[in-house]
Structure 1
Amino acid sequence: MTLAADVYTLVADIGGTNTRVALADRCALLPQTVKRFRNADFPGLETVLNKFLADHDNVDCAGACVAVAGPVKDGRGTLTNLDWEIDESTLARATQAERVVILNDLQAQGHAIGALSAGSVRKLVAGAEAEDTATKLVIGVGTGFNAAPVYETGIGRFIPPAEAGHANLPVRNEDELHLIRHFETAHGFPAVEDMLSGRGLERVYAWLCREAGSPSEASAAQIMDRVAADDEPIAAQAAAMFVRMLGTVAGNLSLIYLPFGGVYLAGGVARAFAPHFEALHFTDAFRDKGRFAGFMQNFAVHVVEDDYAALTGCASYLEGLSLSETNSAV
């Protein structure tokens, strides 16, 4: 496949475990170019992009946008769960692109809403009807945790960066209190991400096993397999605690941001739990807000099932910049 110069944009989604890269034509990804790289196999993003571009005839890209799972400030992104630092000069050098942008990964997920293909979003909890311009909320549950509101403004979509995964875990019952004290002892601070992430599920399972007097560990994938098979009570208990906490946190965030346009759960862990949300009473936990329980029925909850949604969001963001410049020049 011969790729024309200065036509396509390069987009990447850098998570704690994998980096996904693709070329895009305006808002549309080129499916044949989508590639996933295991971060442990590379010393940094530049080598990942060099490998990707070498496999695609070192195409000259018109722009490049990467989403990073961590805070972004002054054109530099620092990953929370990976010892890579990414800055705009490195991105420009690796891609030779005229325009480069670094976004927080939840910002990219937010820019993907409305641009994903049909069937990529599944509704989990019904909510009230709302205008397309209503505020939305994206919550990422994967290697880490984060959340960001999506605002529709008169000059385009605005998604402020956030690091919601490092706020305190809430407490609703004695079991959660004991677990949070365990996290505080182990990590010095009981953060939301300590529980609501793939590693968090593993920690909850290990803690429950110790509490039961039979210390054991399992990977998040193994725990979810046992939940699906319904053949281990402790795995089921860990999943129930996880979903209860996710519902509580998502409900808290909804009261803060009022996402009448819907809540969107993204990330591999969110997708893995999606078939079990109903049985594990996610909706009850989400709406369990005392006298505001009825008000919580305004907020629909969806799961984003497209593993490459952040790539689409990066492409959409670059396209929005181009359209804005075109409109300003007219």
Structure 2
Amino acid sequence: MTPTLDSSEALRFPILIADIGGTNARFALLLDAFAEPKTFPVVKTADYPNIDDAIQATVLDKTSVQPKSAVLAIAGPIDGDEIDLTNSPWVVRPRSLLADLGFEEIVVMNDFEAQALAVSALPDSGRQQIGGGSAREGASRVVLGPGTGLGVAGLVRARRMWIPVAGEGGHVDLGPRTPRDMAIWPHLERIEGRVSAEQVLCGRGLVNLYRAICGADGVPSRHDTPEAVTLAAATPAEDAQAAEAIQLFATCLGRVAGDLALIFMARGGVYIAGGIFQRIVPLLRTEALRAAFEDKAPHSALLRDMPLFAVTEPMAALVGLAAYARNPRFFGLETAGRRWSA
């Protein structure tokens, strides 16, 4: 690595941007600072042995453009020259990418840092407001997204820069609030005795919640994938447990979103991202989600003034990565130990 490069130093175009999750990988090319990203078909990480082969087959074999830089958002902790994805066997080795695929420099960030960058750049068409409240210009924002896991990141404004704040907020405790919750919670699968938000608010979490509801009702569970639970919830008369799982998922999501709003004092808005949420929105009572978001006595009035948004842009992380790649100096992204050069 070259320590003289700092977070604000311009990247060399063309730039490959990539959002690498535990299940899907999304790629785009940014030819220059004014071009719209050229996107490529979304691929499954399970279809390729490693990120090197995925980039070669999905991007480099499909274009004559040789990217000079790469900005990669990775669903996993970045702690050295070998970066493991949390929910995929891929290991990202930036030095190998430099040597084997012709890049001159590579920046790697957490996938939810990219989602945080996205909420600084999303157009109005890329979001849908849930309930009331109005965003304050330049105020802190927070994004959370149920997917393979539950990602959380903040975005704060300081020194004329947007600064993403990544962490493991998806693993905060999630407890019961109502008598019905009290009946369901003993049946939730735990990790070392603990129910974290991610044990409920992600794909496997939805299945966990559905099974717990079945356990509380004393009926056998019939579904073992989030897709099956969601499909069954569309006909609540035929599967009351699946329908309840979707609604309680939304309520729990609203509770956690409200907690994060308080932690970050997110007067700029709270953003819910992720494909799972987009798929279940048509089934939800969004007023219940908003009510759970605001139910934060003694600060309910404060929450009522904060806007809550569903991110509707399917490539939101790429929007954030493109904004950073065009103008790194506008973002206070710490790249020490996360920027490599040939």
TM-score interval, normalised by the smaller of the two chains: 0.7 to 0.9
Indicate whether 1:265 and 2:269 are aligned: no
Q: Please point out which of 135, 142, 145 is paired with 1:140.
A: 145
- Aligned AA (2:136): A
Q: Please point out which of 97, 100, 105 is paired with 2:103.
A: 97
Return the alpha-carbon distance in structure 1 between the equivalents of residues 17 and 78 of structure 2. Answer: 16
Return the alpha-carbon distance in structure 1 between the equivalents of residues 245 and 165 of structure 2. Answer: 32
Q: Please point out which of 16, 21, 25 is paired with 2:27.
A: 21
Q: Please point out which of 165, 168, 186 is paired with 1:163.
A: 168
**Cα-to-partner distance string for 1:125-147 (whole Å, 9 max, x where unaligned):** 2213412x111111111111021
3-state secondary structure, aligned to 2:278: helix
Return the alpha-carbon distance in structure 2 between the equivalents of residues 306 and 251 of structure 1. Answer: 22
Q: Please point out which of 309, 317, 320 is paired with 2:327.
A: 320
Q: Which residue of 2 aligns with 1:38?
A: 44
Give the Å deviation of 1:162: 0.7
Stretches of structure 1 lacking an aligned partner (at least 5 in a row): 1-5, 325-330
Return the alpha-carbon distance in structure 1 between the equivalents of residues 142 and 35 of structure 2. Answer: 23
- Aligned AA (1:170): G
3-state secondary structure, aligned to 1:140: strand
Give the Å deviation of 1:260: 0.4
Q: Please point out which of 227, 236, 240 is paired with 1:233.
A: 240
Give the Å deviation of 1:284: 0.9
3-state secondary structure, aligned to 2:148: coil
Return the alpha-carbon distance in structure 2 between the equivalents of residues 294 and 302 of structure 1. Answer: 18
Q: Please point out which of 30, 47, 52 is paired with 2:53.
A: 47
Give the Å deviation of 1:41: 1.2
**Contact 1:111–1:313 under 8 Å retained in 2:** yes
Q: Structure 2 vs 1, CA of residues 210 and 93 (structure 1 numbering), >3 Å: closer, same or farther?
A: farther
Return the alpha-carbon distance in structure 1 between the equivalents of residues 81 and 35 of structure 2. Answer: 25
Q: Which residue of 1 aligns with 2:304?
A: 297
Indicate whether 1:12 and 2:22 are aligned: no
Indicate whether 1:251 and 2:277 are aligned: no
Return the alpha-carbon distance in structure 1 between the equivalents of residues 34 and 78 of structure 2. Answer: 23
Q: Which residue of 1 aligns with 2:209?
A: 204
**Contact 1:20–1:36 under 8 Å retained in 2:** yes
Q: Structure 2 vs 1, CA of residues 260 and 191 (structure 1 numbering), >3 Å: closer, same or farther?
A: same
**Contact 1:170–1:249 under 8 Å retained in 2:** no
Stretches of structure 2 lacking an aligned partner (at least 5 in a row): 1-11, 332-342
Indicate whether 1:310 and 2:293 are aligned: no
- Aligned AA (2:145): G
Q: Please point out which of 193, 211, 221 is paired with 1:216.
A: 221
Q: Structure 2 vs 1, CA of residues 217 and 241 (structure 1 numbering), >3 Å: closer, same or farther?
A: same
**Contact 1:240–1:280 under 8 Å retained in 2:** no
**Contact 1:169–1:192 under 8 Å retained in 2:** yes
Q: Structure 2 vs 1, CA of residues 177 and 16 (structure 1 numbering), >3 Å: closer, same or farther?
A: farther
Percent of aligned pairs with the same amino acid? 31
Aligned-pair Cα RMSD in Å: 2.4
Return the alpha-carbon distance in structure 2 between the equivalents of residues 217 and 238 of structure 1. Answer: 13
Q: Structure 2 vs 1, CA of residues 93 and 190 (structure 1 numbering), >3 Å: closer, same or farther?
A: farther
Q: Structure 2 vs 1, CA of residues 246 and 322 (structure 1 numbering), >3 Å: closer, same or farther?
A: closer
Q: Structure 2 vs 1, CA of residues 91 and 172 (structure 1 numbering), >3 Å: closer, same or farther?
A: farther
Give the Å deviation of 1:166: 2.0
Q: Structure 2 vs 1, CA of residues 196 and 27 (structure 1 numbering), >3 Å: closer, same or farther?
A: farther
TM-score by length of 1: 0.87
TM-score by length of 2: 0.84
Give the Å deviation of 1:71: 2.1
Higher relative contact order (CA 8 A, sep 6+): 2
**Contact 1:27–1:316 under 8 Å retained in 2:** no
3-state secondary structure, aligned to 1:150: strand
Give the Å deviation of 1:85: 2.4
Q: Structure 2 vs 1, CA of residues 290 and 155 (structure 1 numbering), >3 Å: closer, same or farther?
A: closer
Comparing 183-192 with 116-125, which one deviates more in the overlay?
Answer: 183-192
Q: Structure 1 runs of 4+ off > 6 angstroms?
A: none
Return the alpha-carbon distance in structure 2 between the equivalents of residues 203 and 306 of structure 1. Answer: 28
- Aligned AA (2:48): F
Query: In the TM superposition, what are the counterparts of 1:178-189 in structure 2 within 5 Å?
Result: 178-183=183-188, 185=190, 188-189=193-194
Query: In the TM superposition, what are the counterparts of 1:71-110 in structure 2 within 5 Å?
Result: 71-74=77-80, 77-110=83-116
Return the alpha-carbon distance in structure 2 between the equivalents of residues 176 and 27 of structure 1. Answer: 51
3-state secondary structure, aligned to 1:35: coil
Return the alpha-carbon distance in structure 2 between the equivalents of residues 294 and 118 of structure 1. Answer: 25
